[in-house]
């Protein structure tokens, strides 16, 4: 049955379009067969299939989705368990040692540290013993020196007064104060006189006045004068600092009187 030219145009839309399309398909197939040489299994290029390239602006989102769906999913292969085994063995083994050897070496190290600490502790105890021994010896020496000072009383010369007045030893000063506080009497005046008499003789008192009047030495500013006040002031009987000063002024004034058999102080 023959088909007219008009019917061909109705089917293809353009005259000769069907012929060109068929010839294009045949030419592509022929080139594929020639290139493959193995029965036409080689894939055609994009230009031969008249497909847009991947970098073409004409490529639509639909074509991208179509070709991306054909990409096979990437499978994640788990790592071999040999890495974990090596890591755990590295923790257990140190410097080529087994676990038992490592633990044994740690115990030995702790034992050495304990022994070193014991040695250090023993050395510290020995040093403390030496310090304590030296402290006891020093305290005994100070006690002997204090006893020697106490035997100097009452003071009879300016030389002895200057030595005793220094009183650099705090223990000596406290011991002297405690000794003088123990001196009692039936009146404030008697107590102050007794304390002064225990420290100074009448002969030494001639060189002093309480405030340093008439070219005399000022007893109030010396350590001996301060000790007299500290040992005399008390509540029973009531003795004030003013009472001590007035008594000492009167006593030192009478030290310059004519020599008597019984000392004034």
Residues 171 and 130 in one domain: no
Assess whether 175 and 248 both reside in one domain. Answer: yes
Q: Is the alpha carbon torsion for 131, 135, 136, 138 positive or negative?
A: positive
Q: If you average pLDDT over every residue of the chain, what do you get? A: 70
User: Under DSSP, is residue 79 helix (H, G, I), strand (E, B) or coil?
Assistant: coil
| Domain C-terminal end among 85, 110, 141 | 141
**The whole model's pTM is what?**
0.45
Instruction: Pull the structure tokens for residue 105.
Output: 């070496």
Degrees to nearest 5, angle at CA 173 with 169 and 176: 135
Residues 130 and 184 in one domain: no
Query: Are 203 and 235 in the same domain?
Result: yes
- Tell which wins on pLDDT, 249 or 25: 249
Within-domain flag for 122: yes
> Do 179 and 245 belong together in one domain?
yes
Residues 171 and 233 in one domain: yes
* Same domain as 171, residue 215: yes
Average pLDDT score over residue span 229-257: 91
Number of domains in the chain: 2
> Which of 52-61, 104-113, 124-133, 205-214 holds the top average pLDDT?
205-214
Q: Do residue 186 and residue 233 come from a single domain? A: yes
Same domain, 167 and 221: yes
Does pLDDT of 57 surpass 70? no
Is residue 82 assigned to a domain?
A: no
Which of 107, 141, 175 finishes a domain? 141
136 with 163, same domain: the answer is no
Q: Is residue 238 part of a domain?
A: yes
Residue 75 lies in a domain: no
Residue 207 lies in a domain: yes
Q: Does residue 26 lie in a domain region?
A: no
Domain residues for the domain of 171 are 158-254
Query: Which tens digits make up the pLDDT trace of 137-193?
Result: 666 555 555 566 678 889 999 998 988 888 766 777 788 888 899 888 889 999 999
CA distances from 4 to 1, 14, 15 (A): 10, 14, 11
Could you tell me if residue 237 is inside a domain? yes
Query: Are residues 179 and 222 both part of a single domain?
Result: yes
* Same domain? 121 vs 163: no
The pLDDT-based confidence of 255 (bands split at 50, 70, 90) is: confident
Q: What are the C-alpha distances in Å from 117 to residues 93, 106, 264?
A: 29, 17, 69
Cite the DSSP H helix spans in the chain: 5-12, 17-36, 61-69, 82-92, 99-150, 158-166, 170-181, 188-199, 202-205, 223-232, 241-254
**Total length of the chain:** 265
Output Rg (C-alpha) for the chain, integer angstroms.
61
């Amino acid at each position: 049955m023959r088909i007219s030219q008009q019917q061909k145009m109705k089917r293809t839309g353009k005259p000769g379009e069907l012929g060109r399309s068929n010839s294009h398909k045949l030419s592509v197939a022929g080139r594929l067969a020639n290139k493959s040489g193995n029965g036409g299994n080689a894939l055609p290029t994009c230009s031969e299939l008249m497909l847009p390239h991947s970098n073409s602006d004409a490529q639509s989102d639909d074509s991208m989705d179509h070709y991306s769906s054909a990409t096979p999913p990437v499978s994640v292969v788990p790592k071999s368990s040999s890495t974990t085994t090596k890591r755990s063995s590295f923790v257990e083994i140190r410097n080529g040692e087994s676990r038992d050897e490592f633990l044994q070496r740690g115990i030995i190290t702790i034992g050495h540290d304990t022994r070193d600490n014991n040695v250090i502790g023993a050395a510290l105890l020995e040093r403390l013993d030496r310090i304590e021994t030296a402290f006891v010896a020093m305290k005994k020496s100070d006690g002997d020196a204090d006893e020697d000072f106490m035997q100097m009383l009452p003071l009879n010369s300016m030389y002895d007064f200057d030595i005793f007045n220094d009183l650099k030893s705090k223990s000596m000063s406290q011991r002297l104060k405690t000794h003088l506080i123990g001196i009692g009497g039936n009146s404030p005046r008697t107590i102050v006189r007794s304390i002064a008499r225990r420290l100074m003789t009448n002969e030494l008192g001639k060189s002093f006045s309480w405030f340093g009047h008439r070219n005399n030495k000022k007893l109030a500013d010396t350590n001996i004068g301060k000790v007299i006040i500290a040992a005399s002031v008390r509540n029973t009987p009531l003795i004030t600092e003013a009472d001590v000063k007035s008594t000492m002024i009167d006593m030192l004034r009478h030290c310059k009187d004519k020599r008597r058999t019984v000392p004034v102080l």
